[in-house]
Amino acid sequence: MQIKPFRIEQYFGKYEFTAKYLLSSSDAESRAIQELLDLEPGAHDRLLKHWCGYTESPGAPDLRQAIAAIYHPLSPDDVLVVAAAEEGIFVLYHALAGPGDHIIVETPCYESGLEVARSTGAQVSEWPRSFESGWAHNVAVLEKLLQPNTKIIYINTPHNPTGLLMPAGIFKQVLDLAASRRIILFSDEVYRELEHEPATRLPAACEVYENAVSLGSMSKTYGLPGLRLGWLASRNPEILRRCLGFRYYTTICNSAPSEFLSALALRHREVLVQRNRELVLRNLQLLDAFILRRSNRFEWVRPNASPIGFVRLKPEQDVLAFCEKTVRDAGVLLLPGTVYDQPRHIRFGFGRKNMPEALAQFGAYLDSHP
């Protein structure tokens, strides 16, 4: 298997644990284990007694139940638990595609959505979106990309890196297109439930199309990436059976303590979502005002979901050099758009509690470097 370097994770790997201020993280504020245990009486004692043997490969029954409850109408059998969304992407592409197949990927995207698809040996086409057209989705272009051997279409909504939801009408057209040719719709929904206005939430793809797979994660909306737990949800048992078959070669089953804590967290997910949504809304106001005040240097399409947004630098300059200088001189970590092949953009993250402090630090740095 040939696979390209994962530029996003490499960049974070270089700075994430040394930079003083993180202003580009894609996850919402996390919590300590103690706070999770406080969500339910008796949880502390139950965790201490939790068995650390191998677990059931599709996922612990109570966890699959808690995940299935997110979707209507899905049952625990429609869920395969994996070691975070990253494993879900790897397993799904490799279980279902290979040389001779064609995959379409919405871009720009989280790099593994594209590069893991390529690593299967399948032919991969990008379905591109651009800042110039307000990050609009052109369904006519998607339709033209379809081939008789198109096996999978990967979409991501809410979207990394723009923080935008796919408009409901477009989502429906993409579903109809996939359904008309029985193409698997792989819908990366790791930021779902963090829409800034909950009424704008789209149905999960797995709820409305039997050949769709919804990708979920504890990492982003719920702010628990350290649990390394995610899932694939689909009403097509054959898809999940093949993913499980491949998954025996990756992790076999999940971490027992992570399953325990994830099930507990999901049973109380409104508590987690509400706190994180409040943080995101408070911080977004600050960032939006910041960008407006500095409209000679920055512009963006204001995000409407997730804790991330994609900001264009004006005038044109080397964003990689800008971000590296900012982290070195001001201790503020930004993610250069070069890692998404978008060399005029910077990804911001605004899901963390100390975001106002990080933004103030960045502002002070900019003011001293006009």
Ligand X SMILES: Cc1ncc(COP(=O)(O)O)c(C=O)c1O
Pick one of 68, 85, 284, 333: the residue that binds ligand X (CB under 6 A).
85
Does residue number 90 form part of the binding site for ligand X (CB under 6 A)?
no
Beta carbon of residue 84, minimum distance to ligand X (angstroms, whole number): 3
Residue among 9 and 299 whose Cβ is closer to ligand X: 9
Residue 187 near ligand X by CB under 6 A: no
DSSP three-state, residue 128: strand
The least CB distance from residue 26 to ligand X, in Å, is: 5
Closest contact distance (angstroms) between CB of 335 and ligand X is 10
Name residues whose C-beta falls within 8 Å of residue 235's C-beta, 6 or more positions apart in sequence: 74, 78, 206, 210
Nearest to 308 by CA among 271, 275, 274, 345: 345
Q: Which amino acid is at 136?
A: A
**String of contacts with ligand X for each residue 134-173, x by CB under 6 A:** ----------------------x---x-------------
Q: Is 80 in the site for ligand X (CB under 6 A)?
A: no
Report the residue from 15, 110, 154, 231 that binds ligand X according to the rule CB under 6 A: 110
> 324: which strand partners?
none
Q: State phi, psi for 255 to the nearest 5 degrees.
A: -70, 125
The minimum distance between CB 91 and ligand X, in angstroms, equals 12
| Of the candidates 294, 340, 288, 345, the residue with the CA atom closest to the CA atom of residue 317 | 345
CB of 230 to ligand X, least distance (A): 4
Q: Which of 111, 188, 193, 195 binds ligand X (CB under 6 A)?
A: 188
- Which region, judged by CB under 6 A, interacts with ligand X, from 70-78, 81-89, 203-211, 297-305? 81-89
* Pick from 282, 184, 265: nearest CA to 221: 265
CA-to-CA distance for 355 and 121, rounded, in angstroms? 41
Nearest to 121 by CA among 105, 99, 104: 99
Number of Cβ atoms within 10 Å of the Cβ of 307: 30
Among residues 55, 211, 219, 254, the one that binds ligand X under rule CB under 6 A: 219
- Looking only at the bridges linking them, the beta strands covering 230-233 and 298-300 are unpaired
∠ Cα 362 366 370 (to 5°) = 180
CB of 47 to ligand X, least distance (A): 22
Applying CB under 6 A, which of residues 29, 78, 86, 193 lies at the interface with ligand X?
Answer: 86
Query: Residue 134 has which token pair?
Result: 């307000």
Q: Which of 24, 25, 26, 262 binds ligand X (CB under 6 A)?
A: 26
Distances 84 to 71, 171, 178, 262 between C-alpha atoms, Å: 18, 25, 26, 11
What's the min distance (Å) between Cβ of 160 and ligand X?
4
Binding segment (CB under 6 A) for ligand X, from list 71-79, 83-91, 202-210, 316-324: 83-91
Amino acid letter, residue 155: I
Nearest distance, CB of residue 351 and ligand X, angstroms? 12
**What one-letter code names the amino acid at 184?**
I
111 sits near ligand X (criterion: CB under 6 A): no
Q: Which of 19, 190, 224, 243 lies at the binding interface for ligand X (CB under 6 A)?
A: 190
Cβ closest to ligand X, residue 85 vs residue 185: 85
CB closer to ligand X, 58 vs 158: 158
Alpha-carbon distance of 55 to 340, in angstroms, equals: 37
Site of interaction with ligand X (CB under 6 A): 26, 84-86, 110, 156, 160, 188, 190, 217, 219, 225, 230
